[in-house]
Homo-oligomer: A and B are copies of this chain.
Amino acid sequence: MHGYAGREMAVHSSTLQPRVSFDTSPEKYRHWKLTFDGAVATLSMDVQEDAGLSPDYRLKLNSYDLGVDIELADAVQRIRFEHPEVHAVVITSLKERIFCAGANIFMLRGASHAWKVNFCKFTNETRLAIEDASANSGLKFIAAINGICAGGGYELALACDELLLVDDGNSAVSLPETPLLAVLPGTGGLTRVVDKRKVRRDLADVFGTVAEGVKGRRAVEWNLVDAVYPTTQFRDRVAKRATELSATSDRPASGGGISLGPLNVSISENALHYSSVSLEIDRVRRVATLTVKAPEGELPGTPAAIAEAGDQFWPLRAFRELDAALLHLRVNEPEIGTIIVRTTGDPAAVIAADDVLLAHRDHWLVREVVHFMKRTLKRMDLTARSFFALVEPGSCFAGSLFELALAADRSYMLDDPERPNSVALSGLNGGPLTMSNGLTRLETRFLGTPERVQEVLEEREPFDPAAALDAGLVTFAPDELDWDDEVRLAIEARAALSPDALTGMEANLRFAGPETMETKIFGRLTAWQNWIFQRPNAVGETGALTAYGSQARPEFDFNRT
């Protein structure tokens, strides 16, 4: 079973996979209203029941599918870039007595395993992007829970800085996944309850098993929400708190946002071509080549010039395109398991762009660009495909683009004395582009020899193949005689392995070192949820997810595992 072919989606000619687009903008939103009032933006959920990605289900009660979450992700991103004057965001609902009922169960029931997994991954990334904006961009989020808040609805609220619940005798927060559906609150819910809100584990155990949830005073006592207010006071209290939070921001007091235009892409059956990124697919070998081009021509050197360049500023443009290519791969090209990563262009131009970003990283817009690059690279770390970087003459694995080689599972660098070939680092490799584990990719790579991190960062000359191999910056450096065979065989061997075993292996090897709430969500919680998404007690003929909404009661195999 594949994912959903929505009514408005183009159908992929060769494989009949749906082509989901992640490109949207506020005037196209069908499920959210984004409004502004000075320093406070309000994101109101008003899901259109009949506008799901598939006609197979109706998005009742503010339940959501991937399409709804794509709009949410877009809105958060636009607030960051387009509205620096916004310092606080209120997330609420326009529906009567319902905040959000969570992920649509009929969507989940009908979805393939891979679709469920990728859906959850994207929604997790969106919630983490909210927390990233709070931690790094001076944007505070309030969940104004003005009605029933269940499952994924509560998980969305948990991503906010403050959860304010209306005390109307009806509105509760709940995680009914386990008691009703025999699955987990897998969009960070279990992790955030005990690790972010630090709810006592026994109370969390109770909360996670009572379908009706917890409301009023008890919700505050258990720290499931920060405050409850009577209906008559709710709007005023939310507004007051939003104003207070907005005053804590270090974002500009007014104006100056840049506008994020649609990406310029040409799509053919086996390729996507953006201005600086291309993706070319070899369906027979199940291999794609992802190429990122360095900037060309003059680069802006000041925040004002960067603002003027706007979404055409190379780091922003190239990483937006990279982000889109990665999402496309995940959702629209499930069979393409091995990704060759290439770069082209002038390494000096990338290093120069990185230096500008570093020099002005305290400027709000530059800060946004750098954090967006960081999130895109995290998206790569979390993409369940094998990445092999090929460093060849003419390539441009320098600075921020060298992160692509570091994010790859392996790298091969051609060592041909006749054809110069090098990699280079910039200050961006030393700091802001952290992984989910809180470390830079260099720190993760050199976990066993931490002194190497500084050593390689201090070396501002390019590394030739021998030096790169010696410094541990690339995996292999075959010579020109071995190159073709060695690379070809490695790719063929990779593409022949079980995709599931590779997903599990990569998920374990890529995140050495410390764990964070983020890695716990993607490692522990997601892995258990994926397991449960395979278990007959959830998805079998008599499983709870299958039985939901029908007359049938679930029947469980009670063997514990």
Contacts and interface: CB of A to CB of B under 8 A. Distances in A.
A509 B410 contact: no
B223 A500 contact: no
A236 B200 CA distance: 54
A206 B502 CA distance: 12
Given A194-B512, A509-B190, A558 B206 contact: no
Copies in the complex: 2
Contact of A499 (B444, B500, B530, B561): B561
Interface residues of A, number: 92
A378 to B, nearest CB: 15
Interface string A205-218: 11011000000000
Given A530-B561, A561-B114, A498 B544 contact: yes
A528 B527 contact: yes
A5 interface: no
Contact of A448 (B197, B337, B511, B537): B197
Nearest to A204: B509
Interface string A510-545: 111111000110011101111110110110000010
A560 B501 contact: no
A461 interface: no
A494 interface: yes
A182 interface: yes
A39 B528 CA distance: 44
Contacts of A200: 445-446, 448, 472
A201 B509 contact: yes
A503 interface: yes
Contacts of A554: 498
A179 to B, nearest CB: 6
A147 B200 CA distance: 49
A206 to B, nearest CB: 6
Nearest to A197: B448
A361 interface: no
A472 B208 CA distance: 18
B520 A507 contact: no
B561 A509 contact: no
Contacts of A538: 498, 500-501
A447 interface: yes
A384 to B, nearest CB: 5
A193 B445 CA distance: 13
B507 A524 contact: yes
A561 B113 contact: yes
B223 A558 contact: no
A325 interface: no
A411 to B, nearest CB: 7
A109 to B, nearest CB: 15
A508 B524 contact: yes
Given A223-B448, A493-B209, A538-B498, A531 B560 contact: no
A510 B193 CA distance: 12
Nearest to A329: B560
A240 interface: no
A432 B363 CA distance: 49
A445 B204 CA distance: 11
A208 B509 contact: yes
Contacts of A209: 493-494, 497, 505
Contact of A178 (B181, B449, B498, B535): B498
Nearest to A503: B561
30 contacts: A114-B561, A118-B561, A182-B498, A190-B509, A193-B509, A195-B512, A195-B513, A198-B448, A198-B449, A200-B446, A200-B472, A201-B444, A201-B510, A202-B445, A209-B493, A498-B535, A499-B560, A500-B537, A500-B538, A501-B544, A503-B560, A504-B528, A504-B529, A504-B531, A507-B528, A511-B524, A515-B515, A515-B520, A527-B527, A530-B531
Given A499-B561, A515-B519, A523-B523, 9 more contacts: A201-B509, A204-B509, A498-B535, A499-B560, A500-B537, A501-B532, A501-B544, A507-B528, A534-B535
Interface of A: 113-114, 117-118, 177-179, 181-184, 190-191, 193-195, 197-206, 208-209, 223, 286, 334-337, 384-385, 408-411, 444-449, 472, 475, 493-494, 497-515, 519-520, 523-525, 527-532, 534-535, 537-538, 544, 554, 556-561
